Amino acid sequence: MTTPAALLESGRTLGVIGSGVMGQTLIKGLLEAGLVTRRQIWATAKTQESCDEVAETLGITAVRDYREAAATAGIILVCVKPAQIGAVSAVLRESSLRADVLMISILAGVSTERLESLLRPAENDGPRPVWVRAIPNTPCVVRQGMTAICGGSDATARHLALAERIFSSVGRCTVVEEHYCNAITALSGSGPAYMYLMMEALADAGVRVGLRRHVALELVAQTMLGSARMVLDTGRHPASLRDDVTTPAGCTIGGLLMLEDGKIRSVLARAVEEATRIVEQLGKAAKAG
């Protein structure tokens, strides 16, 4: 068995700019997967209080002024809110970033074109950082996330492979073309919220037929988890797996027909369509702003 190459070249660090929910999740995933050591990683947040909390809970260096740290970075993960990217890029422009630093953004709706423009050299002809854009989701917290990544104009297969290793430490990761990003944000980025709504509704249904709520919720959550595993592990079409559960004249077909009467398929499709439309609008507003 060959040992995978180190994520970072010798002496380089991995920086995490913005160590809130997603930033901390990625730091934990990277540490637990052994992709970086605590000495190789640094983080930053807006306030000193947040930096102190991150340093204390994760046992890594967390500094408010990260200009010096940024100069040592081989990879920088940008995990601030989209509205904060202007302030971050102003600091990065003051830092002596290495020419071959890989920048990875998880900012919803911010294109690689926009990200590249933020750190473009004044003369527009010097080296500029390579960007990879990622769309993770919150189950990364329990290392069951789904992340899609795409490369900016200078990203190579090696850059994408590095990003893939990072996000695979907190779940599954797939490489896509950037024009799919809005649809992915609406489907798997927002997806956990749709699943929670369905779980809540099914738990209510369990209560309606006489189950205690905590029992109903456990039954529903594990059923959703198990069904997802069946799809991923067997590679079978969901319709074929559904057929296995649906016995002739049984109760399942009765329940399924009620769901079809309620137009569940088109309601779900319309929900994702609407979310995609809103992400597109947010992206346009961010570009104009």
145 binds ligand NAP (CB under 6 A): no
Residue 149: CB minimum distance to ligand NAP, A: 12
Stretch that binds ligand NAP, among 34-42, 82-90, 203-211, 246-254 (CB under 6 A): 82-90
Run of H or E including 13: strand 13-17
C-alpha–C-alpha distance, residues 110 and 106, integer Å: 9
Q: Pick one of 8, 12, 13, 18: the residue that binds ligand NAP (CB under 6 A).
A: 18
72 binds ligand NAP (CB under 6 A): no
35 binds ligand NAP (CB under 6 A): no
Measured from the CB atom, is 170 or 216 closer to ligand NAP? Answer: 170
Q: Under a CB-based contact definition with an 8 Å cutoff, are residues 109 and 182 in contact?
A: yes
Stretch that binds ligand NAP, among 75-83, 116-124, 167-175, 271-279 (CB under 6 A): 75-83
Q: Pick one of 13, 112, 137, 169: the residue that binds ligand NAP (CB under 6 A).
A: 137
Extract the tokens encoding 24: 């901390």
Cβ within 8 Å of residue 202, ≥6 positions away: 216, 220
Stretch that binds ligand NAP, among 100-108, 148-156, 195-203, 243-251 (CB under 6 A): 100-108
Site string for ligand NAP, 170-199 (x = CB under 6 A): -------------------x----------
47 binds ligand NAP (CB under 6 A): yes
Handedness of CA 192, 196, 197, 198 (dihedral sign): positive
Q: Can you give the length of the chain in residues? A: 289
Extract the tokens encoding 276: 């995609």
163 binds ligand NAP (CB under 6 A): no
Q: Pick one of 35, 70, 97, 108: the residue that binds ligand NAP (CB under 6 A).
A: 108
Strands 41-44, 13-17: pairing is: parallel
Residue 66: CB minimum distance to ligand NAP, A: 8
Residue 107: CB minimum distance to ligand NAP, A: 4
C-alpha–C-alpha distance, residues 176 and 123, integer Å: 31
C-alpha–C-alpha distance, residues 194 and 259, integer Å: 16
C-alpha–C-alpha distance, residues 210 and 216, integer Å: 9
Run of H or E including 23: helix 21-32
The alpha carbon of residue 273 and the mean position of all alpha carbons in its chain are separated, in whole angstroms, by 20
Residue 138: CB minimum distance to ligand NAP, A: 4
Site for ligand NAP in 251-280 (CB under 6 A): none
Count interface residues toward ligand NAP (CB under 6 A): 26
Q: Under a CB-based contact definition with an 8 Å cutoff, are residues 26 and 79 in contact?
A: yes
Q: Under a CB-based contact definition with an 8 Å cutoff, are residues 63 and 51 in contact?
A: yes
Measured from the CB atom, is 116 or 218 closer to ligand NAP? Answer: 116
Residue 183: CB minimum distance to ligand NAP, A: 15
Q: Under a CB-based contact definition with an 8 Å cutoff, are residues 69 and 77 in contact?
A: no
Binding site for ligand NAP (CB under 6 A): 17-23, 44-47, 50, 79-82, 84, 87-88, 106-108, 136-138, 189
